[in-house]
A and B are shown apart, each in its own frame.
Chain A
């Protein structure tokens, strides 16, 4: 495991791997999201209480999963970068943050749009909504901290410390619905005695979730590649300047 990790610290080797993963992830994202959303929005039955608005779930719930999943990925990558000084892990964490922030924003917006018809309010200050909002601010702080440093190696480590401190919010988001019993419903897919939602609604939801994950991998590959290439260009420019 550690050996494989160190092999990937070489950007050239990492780029070769990314070049193979990226198209696969892209095609998978396209197919899965098309299938999941097509099924969910057009063919899945409307809910017996919520009617057609339940279809917001097919964007809202996977976005929420991704918001948390990407933060966990970011925190793990930050820890790897901090402990083993793994340059590509730092880049992966950096590249993940805007994607995670976007999914968190999407989750908050769709939740608000869903809340208005169902709860009669756009926003409520309960544990789940508040902790997801904090998650969003943590993403923004993380991105801002990266931008505040000129030295990229320093920025990586400062941001990694922040990401790890903020990771304490992840279990709070997950369990907030169990600790504070308010408007947001408790977990209904990942529970000890199986999913609490009917399979006709569950399947498109899982497909979209997988599709969003593939989309994340695709964009992550794209962003990491861009970042590596940008640094190569910078080094090449500096070499020209100092050589001439």
Chain B
């Protein structure tokens, strides 16, 4: 146009690629079920490395005023305080140290007392960068609301999908979403990564992203069901997944680019969050291609009903959704 000369983009995607997804749906399902089961087993055996948000206790990030922090000396002075196990680890740079104090028995005031002991024992050589103290009441509330938030999100999303599509799509979505949450949490359990509030936020975003992918593929399936009324369902699903594959991968790529930037440059505080997001986007992409759509192959979808619904729904949806268009 005016300032931008016309130039074509480089379409590197092999659009005539036809991958036979449905042929391997049994294998994919098996694997997915196995990983979901494995995650559940991990939850009960390894459990989670909960952060202070969920476990209670204190987290203190300090920075040595000059030079590197002497972790051994800090350990020595903090171990004798009688406040249970104290975890000390360097955090980012060599002068930054993260101290974790487990939840103290004796209620809310005991946490503050422990914090005071630590701060006093550390002395003047450190600057407090961050302090988080969560008492037993708040941590148990955060645990409950975290679980409720994830479950409520899944329910809300599934109800929406059910409303817009057939119930089989909603069932596919709920299985895919549950898979994403379970497996991502499973990774956090397996590697004992710190699981705190930000990871719940990540799980919720992964849900949003995953269902986004699932809806795009489902939309195409519905459209193709109208177009190819007599086609075998498995073949139709294959075509739909392949047709949307370029967008699935490209969007995944841009999202991952953003998250990698967060992971590498967003600072130490966001690192676990970015990791969860990174992993979740991969899982979310996988689940919409390999779980949600293939599940329709097993469940079967009533074609005529689908066509009838598709004939009325998009028109209504379009007019209602955005009157400013056209």
Tell me if chain B binds chain A. Answer: no
Q: Measuring CB to CB, which residues of chain B are less than 8 angstroms from any residue of chain A?
A: none
